[in-house]
Amino acid sequence: MTTELKNKSPQKEKMLENASTLFWKKGYSATSMRDIAKVCKCKPANIYNFFHNKEEILFECLYTQNKRLLEKIKHFEDDRITKPSEQLREFIIIHLSHVLRYSKTSRLLFDTGLERLSRNNRRKVINDRDAYDRILAGIIQRGIESKDFSEIDAKLVTRNIASMIVRTVIWYSPKGQLSINDIAEFIYNFSLNGLSKERKK
């Protein structure tokens, strides 16, 4: 994990979790610093001890969530030994577990309020999204080159797999019939069917 993420205090982490949930439920614009302080059971002045403004809170939520995921998947970029299909399964499990972990505490924000960020902060978040796309597209491309997958647009496949994973946070419930592993296996098999050289035309 990066030094930047290691240095977060428990109090600051809790503020980010609470703010993330409020941004998800109420929307970024409708959430005030007073709202965040109320949920954190502290005075607004305490929030300003850690953040200059609301935009900085949003940025840290998005930046932290993305960095934590990238730390978990970055090893795929240099993996030329594991079969691409096995890498794809592990990748899906890692990303899905990451997404649904946030549904239990705070909320994974994805693109929420991205347009509200300053140009510099928005670029940092987008750079991390691009890194995610590059890593997953690399797995797909290696599968194409090894003839395990059919000739297909790796970028388009990447976007669709990512969308399937991300949208699980909307409907998934720990009390439901499907476990995280069940959902991961379904997404994997669904994706693999589309990538298979034997799929019907």
- 82-125 pLDDT, tens digit each: 999 999 999 999 999 998 886 655 556 666 667 889 999 999 99
CB contact set of 167 (below 8 Å; sequence gap of 6+): none
Q: Which domains does the chain have, with CATH numbers?
A: 53-195 (1.10.357.10)
| Token pair listed for 106 | 């705070």
- Block mean pLDDT (10 aa), the chain, length 201: 56 90 87 94 92 93 91 95 96 93 63 80 93 96 93 93 90 90 95 72 44
Gap between the Cα atoms of 139 and 141, Å rounded: 6
* Burial of 4: CB neighbours in 10 Å, binned 0-12, 13-18, 19+: exposed
pLDDT at residue number 141: 95
CB contact set of 22 (below 8 Å; sequence gap of 6+): 31, 35, 36, 39
Query: What is the number of other CB atoms lying within 10 angstroms of the CB of residue 15?
Result: 25
Gap between the Cα atoms of 40 and 92, Å rounded: 33
pLDDT at residue number 201: 44
pLDDT at residue number 25: 84
pTM exceeds 0.95: no
